[in-house]
Amino acid sequence: MGKTRDVREAVETELSYDPRVDAADISVKNIHGKVGLTGTVPSYPQYLEAARAAWRVAGVTEVHNHLEVVLPPGAVRDDAMLTTAANNALAADATVPEGAEATARNGNLTLTGTVQYLSQRAAVEKVVSGLIGVRHVRDEIDVVCGVEPADVKQLVKRALDRSALVPDDSDVLVDTSGSTVILTGHVQTRAERDAVVGATWMARGVAMVVDELEITG
């Protein structure tokens, strides 16, 4: 019980100390390192940041983010206004390739289009996530890379070998199913997990990453 309480209390403390999160209406549950966040936050960036804060705590192996974004009255935009704002932001950002589009419904943005890299897909989501009026982002962008599936596994392995953040003695295994990459093995921290997944995203030919890495803590 003590360890369970310690992780929960540590996550609550981390949330309360993060200036990017209003934790007043967030509840934390922990079962053997599997942390659940419930309650409400006033913006989508806070929804994302709350999960990141939980992941920073030692002993956390999973984070289930069930927070609801409840926008204050001054931050609500109608669908047409939010759609226009999102597409203008995408068009103005140099990291976003042509063809990505956003559509809003009740504050929920859906992203569509095609990109060549998973990292470009992440860039599109990042551009719109901080816009006023966004309650949630659903990413339906397709990754079309033009790389033979047989080459994907080697490209990912080379990307991991190049990464300074992935330990040389890492036991991470890479498997592929077409352009989908399955990662298994062990990492010590969330930061190491992010480094492995991030390096995989940067590899050409990867359309999807299935993260089955185990965080040992």
Q: What pLDDT tens digit does each residue of the chain (217 aa) get?
A: 455 569 999 999 999 999 999 999 999 999 989 999 999 999 999 999 999 999 999 889 889 999 999 999 999 999 999 999 999 999 999 988 888 999 999 999 999 998 888 888 889 999 999 999 999 999 999 888 777 767 888 888 888 888 888 888 888 988 888 888 899 999 888 888 888 888 888 887 888 889 889 888 6
CATH number of 73-143: 3.30.1340
pTM reported for the whole predicted model: 0.79
* Identity of the residue numbered 105: R
Q: Does domain 149-215 have CATH number 3.30.1340.30?
A: yes
**Per-residue CA distances from 217 to 55, 57, 164, 182 (Å):** 11, 10, 20, 21
Sign (positive/negative) of CA torsion 47, 51, 57, 63? positive
Question: How far, in Å, CA of 99 to CA of 113, rounded?
Answer: 5
Q: How far apart are CA 140 and CA 135, in angstroms?
A: 16
Class of domain 2-69 (CATH, top level): alpha beta
